[in-house]
């Protein structure tokens, strides 16, 4: 019998002696759970049930209470308190030599400040926690830095060396911004183990339509890598399944800065979606903050990789010493094995505040999910400064700008937009300005008026200027790359323009 089904005294005994644990056994348990009706977790009646954002900020995990402090390795485990957005208990287990023992938490593990001080019962046993974080000497050998955290639904995020938190990942997305109701399945239990240089996290996923068993193998470094295995079991059909979903924030950059009266030149956790297709061709899609919900699908076989990137890592581009957007990590998904055909989907949600995560990227399998299905997906997540390969086989999109269409100095064209795209690196660096290369542009939903290419002064970037027109309220998809010498010379630049 699982520990969750035992009465309190029996659970305590089970936690003391432990229970055998394996990923396959966890998989069997979640497969069986999918055959039973969905039973949502019930938040316990508690003093923390009414906490708001300000109240929740008054709770801190005590560093001295970190688990694994007496272990032979450098890992440290801390917990997040229940309350505010996290009312449902999550249970944590330590796994050593194939035996899982539950980690118990009490109010003695936390500090309570402000109005909470003196109101919290001393040494009160907690039914669980909201999530956890793992610390490791990531940046310096003499300091334990946060590497990865899991808290809220199936959300988690990680850091590479010298990064600060930005984009997040989820275990699974179900019906994200489609007609069917969106679901947010949650990780309800975590089983954690570690060795000198890596940590392994197993988790149970529970939701109305799906259950799952997950394994995360975390390897900290300059680029932190997490190998993910997701075994999914469906009790109901799903309209749209999202694999390896990423979430980020894009408020403004030079493309749409006119809508924001802000001293900072740019505000975003990520500035583009990059996809490397199965054949090696690459697409760069600058992110936007549209006036209405926007969605783009990039269809094809299993890609080599896709992700949300923060290419611009120059402090002067952001001028924010507090938020340090220049240090936000890029996050790349590298599929393992054949996922079949499908699409990388990008969702951009209108937002007026940088506190809102308004960007979603995920893989949508072509094959629909029906009740009784099971699926398994494996992939690696890479977190860090994933700088472009400027010396690689393809030139890179170095900058994107946009403005009113037409010729400067005269009245702007109606229903027209100008796009300016700079390319750099790869085979372009060694070419003379008169080299026989040309822009290759396609426009769907609108009309391409002109496309010109020039080399910027002093051997600089290669600049393409596009003028595009469209009917009012039309959604226009634009693709552009450079070609010459009978081959593709650059990654493709993609853009969606809604002529609102």
Q: Report the distance separating Cα 371 and Cα 394, nearest Å.
A: 44
CA 79 remoteness from chain centre: 21
- pLDDT confidence tier of residue 486, bands split at 50, 70 and 90: very high
Q: What is the mean pLDDT of residues 180-200?
A: 95
Q: What percent of the chain has pLDDT over 90?
A: 84
Q: Report the distance separating Cα 154 and Cα 205, nearest Å.
A: 8
Q: What is the mean pLDDT of residues 220-248?
A: 98
- Residue environment code for 453-485, b if the CB has 16+ CB neighbours within 10 A, otherwise e: eebeeeeebbbbebbbbbeeeebbebebbbebe
Contacts (Cβ under 8 Å, ≥6 apart) of 362: 173, 176, 242, 243, 244, 245, 246, 344, 345
Query: Has residue 236 got a pLDDT over 80?
Result: yes
pLDDT of residue 319: 97
pLDDT of residue 412: 72
Q: Are 145 and 137 in contact (CB under 8 A)?
A: yes
Q: Report the distance separating Cα 86 and Cα 343, nearest Å.
A: 32
Q: Which one, of 156, 161, 159, 194, lies nearest residue 74 by Cα?
A: 194
Interval 264-309: pLDDT, tens:
999 999 999 999 999 999 999 999 999 999 999 999 999 999 999 9
Q: Are 455 and 484 in contact (CB under 8 A)?
A: no
Q: What is the mean pLDDT of residues 471-494?
A: 96
Q: Are 203 and 211 in contact (CB under 8 A)?
A: no
pLDDT of residue 225: 99
Q: Longest Cα pair distance anywhere in the chain, in angstroms?
A: 81
pLDDT of residue 121: 84
Query: Has residue 140 got a pLDDT over 60?
Result: yes
Q: Are 190 and 20 in contact (CB under 8 A)?
A: no
Contacts (Cβ under 8 Å, ≥6 apart) of 138: 145, 146, 147, 159, 161, 220, 221, 224
Query: Has residue 409 got a pLDDT over 80?
Result: no
CA torsion, ordered 386, 349, 275, 268, to nearest 10 deg? -20
pLDDT of residue 157: 98
Pairing of strands 282-286, 492-498: parallel
pLDDT of residue 16: 65
Identify the structural domains of the chain with CATH numbers, from first to last.
3-384 (2.70.98.10), 396-498 (2.60.40.10)
Query: Has residue 5 got a pLDDT over 70?
Result: no
Q: Are 202 and 191 in contact (CB under 8 A)?
A: yes
Burial of 310 (0-12, 13-18, 19+ CB in 10 A): buried
Least confident of 5-14, 191-200, 215-224, 385-394: 5-14
Q: Report the distance separating Cα 245 and Cα 267, nearest Å.
A: 22
In sequence order, what DSSP letters do the residues of 355-375 get, joined into one string?
TS--EEEEEEESSPB-TT-EE
CA 93 remoteness from chain centre: 25
**Considering the chain, what is the average pLDDT of its residues?**
93
Burial of 200 (0-12, 13-18, 19+ CB in 10 A): middle
Query: Has residue 2 got a pLDDT over 60?
Result: no
Q: Which one, of 329, 359, 344, 332, lies nearest residue 252 by Cα?
A: 359
Query: Has residue 459 got a pLDDT over 50?
Result: yes
- pLDDT confidence tier of residue 155, bands split at 50, 70 and 90: very high
Contacts (Cβ under 8 Å, ≥6 apart) of 210: 34, 172, 174, 183, 185, 232, 233, 234, 235, 236, 238
Q: Report the distance separating Cα 159 and Cα 103, nearest Å.
A: 25
pLDDT of residue 1: 30
pLDDT of residue 15: 53
- Tokens representing 83 are 């309350």
pLDDT of residue 13: 39
């Amino acid at each position: 019998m699982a520990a969750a089904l035992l009465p309190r005294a029996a659970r305590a005994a089970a936690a003391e002696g432990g229970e055998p644990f394996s990923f396959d056994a966890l998989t069997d348990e979640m497969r069986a759970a999918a055959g039973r009706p969905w039973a949502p977790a019930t938040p316990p009646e508690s003093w923390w049930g009414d906490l708001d954002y300000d109240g929740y900020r008054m709770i801190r995990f005590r560093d001295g209470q970190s688990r694994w402090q007496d272990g032979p390795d450098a890992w440290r485990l801390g917990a997040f308190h229940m309350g505010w957005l996290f009312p449902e208990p999550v249970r944590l287990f330590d796994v050593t030599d194939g035996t899982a023992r539950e980690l118990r938490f009490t109010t003695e593990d936390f500090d309570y400040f402000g109005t909470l001080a003196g109101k919290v019962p001393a040494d009160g046993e907690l039914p669980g926690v909201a999530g956890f974080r793992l610390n490791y000497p990531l940046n310096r050998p003499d300091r334990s830095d946060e590497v990865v955290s899991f808290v809220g639904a199936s959300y988690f995020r990680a850091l590479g060396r010298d990064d600060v938190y930005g984009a997040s990942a989820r275990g699974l997305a179900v019906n994200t911004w489609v007609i069917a109701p969106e679901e947010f399945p949650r990780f309800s239990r975590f089983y954690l183990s570690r060795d000198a240089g890596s940590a392994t996290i197993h988790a149970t996923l529970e939701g109305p339509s799906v259950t799952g068993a997950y394994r995360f193998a975390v390897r900290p470094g300059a680029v932190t890598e997490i190998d993910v295995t997701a075994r999914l079991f469906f009790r109901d059909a799903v309209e749209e399944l999202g694999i390896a979903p990423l979430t980020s924030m894009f408020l403004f950059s030079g493309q749409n800065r006119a809508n924001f009266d802000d001293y900072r030149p740019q505000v975003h956790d990520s500035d583009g979606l990059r996809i490397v297709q199965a054949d090696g061709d690459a697409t760069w899609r600058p992110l936007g903050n549209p006036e209405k919900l926007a969605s783009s699908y990039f269809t094809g076989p299993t890609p080599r990789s896709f992700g949300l990137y923060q290419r611009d890592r120059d402090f002067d581009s952001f001028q924010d010493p507090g938020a340090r957007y220049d240090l936000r990590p890029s996050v790349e998904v590298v599929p393992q094995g054949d996922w079949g055909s499908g699409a990388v989907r990008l969702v951009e949600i209108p937002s007026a505040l940088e506190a809102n995560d308004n960007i979603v990227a995920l893989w949508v399998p072509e094959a629909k999910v029906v009740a009784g299905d099971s699926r398994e997906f494996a992939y690696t997540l890479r977190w860090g400064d994933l700088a472009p390969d400027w010396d690689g086989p393809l030139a890179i999109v170095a900058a994107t700008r946009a403005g009113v269409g037409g010729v400067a100095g005269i009245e702007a064209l109606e229903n027209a937009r100008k796009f300016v795209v700079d390319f750099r690196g790869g085979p372009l660096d060694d070419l003379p300005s008169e080299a026989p290369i040309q822009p290759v542009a396609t426009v769907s939903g609108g009309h391409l008026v002109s496309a010109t290419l020039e080399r910027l002064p002093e051997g600089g970037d290669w600049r393409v200027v596009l003028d595009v027109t469209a009917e009012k309220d039309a959604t226009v998809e634009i693709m552009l790359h450079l070609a010459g010498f009978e081959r593709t010379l650059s990654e493709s630049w993609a853009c969606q323009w809604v002529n609102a």
